[in-house]
Amino acid sequence: MKWLACELHTHTLHSDGSQTLEELAAGAANLGFDAIALTDHNTMSGLIGKEEIERIYGLLIIPGMEWTTFYGHMVTIGLSAFADWRQVDRDRIDVGIESVHRLGGIAGLAHPFRIGSPACTGCFWEYEIGNWSAVDYIEVWSGTFPSIQTNNRRAFDLWTDKLNEGYRIAATSGRDWHAQGETDEPISVTYLGIEDDAVAENGDEAALSIHEETLIQALREGRASVTIGPLLTLKLNADDVDYPIGSTVPSVVERPEVAAQPILVNLTLDFSVRVGLWALPKQICRLKLCSNLGEELSLEVPSSSDGQMMQFEVQLTQSAPDIPRRWIRSELWGTVQGAYVRVAFTNAIYFEEGGYPR
């Protein structure tokens, strides 16, 4: 699996940003991003000249648009054409999401707990979602140093609640990037996982050899890992089959001999990503496994300053027969700028209903 560094929420002067697409692309390339999504408010006109800018900066630019409405902001990416944001009532957002899907795109809740009108018009999510299965992702981290903000904690909790209810929804970060400018605050990255065979060998411009649909598909399937530091990845191995982030471990209720085998958990912390573009103070961090059963594991791991790759392998405990495990994810916790926060988290791996192991 190759992990591409993505920034999925950006603006230019085609809406209320104060940067051109070229300035945005240059800034993103300097910060080590492989891909960005342009999500201007209610317009896609900012994509003019995209191909040339992609070539100059070796950066993939995914088309998108932020539905900037009266009852919520919804980020949409990967659409082939415009989907109308103006016709959707408060109890009809499902129809809007459907229209995005029809055009090949995916839809996510942008900063769902940011304060709403009149401070930030429509910023708080007030749509009544009838069908949560249609929601592709939730932007659980918004802005710079996102893990410290209360509104992001509420978004993260919403995501966890939905996973507990059995929905398979991805989680992302988005800077909501409006202007170039230095910041001392940590910048978050959403890494999207691309199968090795989808990457053509193309030297430094590897990102450009990946079709944007491949990247959209990765997020659609929840192959995402979010961080303000090292890249954290998770893989399960059951019955000699690997299950990466976003995949589903099948039920083996029909095959008790397989269910008796423990599931192996492979965790990787890669400190070599985006070298020099982030820093984590030297400390002992906590690497956790979390699921609908709660915190299943907590390991002490040292932070690494020499860019090394750390791997951990543990066995998953059997869940109680009356409460099946529905999903599992990994989180890295540590102290950043004086606050103990989530440094990184993976998207979930799911378990087919019926339970594995029983």
Q: Binding residues for other proteins, per CB under 8 A? A: 12-16, 40-46, 68, 70-71, 82, 84, 86, 113, 115-119, 121-122, 124, 150, 154
Q: Are 288 and 250 in contact (CB under 8 A)?
A: no
According to the 3-state scheme, what is the secondary structure of 323-339? Answer: CCCCEEEEEEEEEECCE
Of 11 and 329, the one with the shorter C-beta distance to other proteins is: 11
Of 52 and 195, the one with the shorter C-beta distance to other proteins is: 52
Phi, psi of 32 (to 5 degrees): 80, 20
Q: Are 8 and 39 in contact (CB under 8 A)?
A: yes
Strands (E), the chain: 2-10, 35-38, 60-68, 73-77, 106-109, 137-142, 170-174, 189-194, 224-227, 231-238, 241-244, 248-249, 264-270, 284-291, 294-302, 309-315, 327-336, 339-346, 349-351
Of 16 and 242, the one with the shorter C-beta distance to other proteins is: 16
Nearest-approach distance from CB 225 to other proteins, in angstroms:
28
Supply 274's token pair. Answer: 């985006």
Of 70 and 333, the one with the shorter C-beta distance to other proteins is: 70
The CB density around residue 91, as the number of other CB atoms within 10 Å, is 12
The CB density around residue 149, as the number of other CB atoms within 10 Å, is 18
Nearest-approach distance from CB 95 to other proteins, in angstroms:
16
What residues form DSSP beta bridges with 172? 139
Nearest-approach distance from CB 67 to other proteins, in angstroms:
11
Nearest-approach distance from CB 56 to other proteins, in angstroms:
20
Of 33 and 125, the one with the shorter C-beta distance to other proteins is: 125
Nearest-approach distance from CB 202 to other proteins, in angstroms:
32
Nearest-approach distance from CB 151 to other proteins, in angstroms:
9
> What does each C-alpha distance from 272 to 2, 33, 281 come to in angstroms?
14, 14, 15
Of 151 and 248, the one with the shorter C-beta distance to other proteins is: 151
Of 15 and 319, the one with the shorter C-beta distance to other proteins is: 15
Nearest-approach distance from CB 109 to other proteins, in angstroms:
15
> Environment class of residue 70 by beta-carbon count within 10 Å: exposed (0-12), middle (13-18) or buried (19+)?
middle
Q: Are 282 and 304 in contact (CB under 8 A)?
A: no
